[in-house]
Amino acid sequence: QVQLVQSGAEVKKPGASVKVSCKTSGYTFETFGISWVRQAPGQGLEWMGWISAYNGDTTYAQNFQGRVIMTTDTSTSTAYMELRSLTSDDTAVYYCARDEWNWYGDYWGQGTLVTVSS
């Protein structure tokens, strides 16, 4: 069965970076992409971007351009999302989702809470 398992919760100081991993199984990693979506506490969903696991092509939301880097490691079927220059506004649960064509996530990871606090 398709599974996406994310790395554990992180606490970071303002200005730092965080890298969240998303290990996948149950499907051929290279034939799908991965989307990243975040959710601030008690808030709605915000799309951050998408990466193709086939060729590494990325599409980032303008709000995160220059601050986010999405990568994949086909040898371990794992996707990564690194977010730099963190502020308290980046405190959120970060989700990865399998997304074949950069449309919508059909299987989601359990989420990773990133807390930014001094």
Partner 1 sequence: DIVMTQSPDSLPVSLGERATINCKSSQNILYSSNNKNYLAWFQQRPGQPPKLLISWASTRESGVPDRFSGSGSGTDFTLTISSLQAEDVAVYYCQQYYSTPYTFGQGTKLEIK
Residues that bind partner 1 (CB under 8 A): 37, 44-47, 59, 61-63, 95, 97, 102-111
The 3-state secondary structure of 7-22, one letter per residue? CCCEEECCCCCEEEEE
Q: Which is nearer to partner 1, 37 or 70 (CB)?
A: 37
Cβ-proximal residues to 42 (8 Å cutoff; 6+ apart), any chain: none
Q: Please, which residue, 65 or 118, has the CB nearer to partner 1?
A: 65
Which residue, 16 or 39, has its beta carbon nearer to partner 1? 39
* The two three-digit tokens of residue 17, written as one number: 């970076």
Q: What is the nearest approach in angstroms of partner 1 to the Cβ of residue 95?
A: 5
